[in-house]
Amino acid sequence: MNAQLKMVFWQGDRYWLGKLVDHPEIMCQGENIEELEANLRDAYRELLLEDVPPGYQVRDIAL
């Protein structure tokens, strides 16, 4: 899955904190920005694909 998402992020007292703009319920932290991005990617995939088996397909649909 190749999705382009925007994250908003800031440096806290100890960790970098961030959330996805289009999915503000997904918030993560990391010791650096790269780790924060990786954690946000993992959380996004887990949220969207939690019950989806391997070999899934993706298709755009109009709403």
pLDDT digit string (tens) for 23-42?
A: 889 999 999 999 999 999 99
pLDDT of residue 60: 82
Measured CA to CA in angstroms, residue 21 lies from 5, 24, 32, 53, 56 at distances of 7, 6, 19, 27, 25
Q: How far apart are CA 36 and CA 18, in angstroms?
A: 7
At 20, is the pLDDT very low, low, confident or very high (cuts 50, 70, 90)? very high
Nearest residue to 43 via CA among 32, 31, 55, 30: 30
The pTM of the whole model exceeds 0.85: no
Q: How far apart are CA 60 and CA 63, in angstroms?
A: 10
Q: How far apart are CA 8 and CA 24, in angstroms?
A: 9
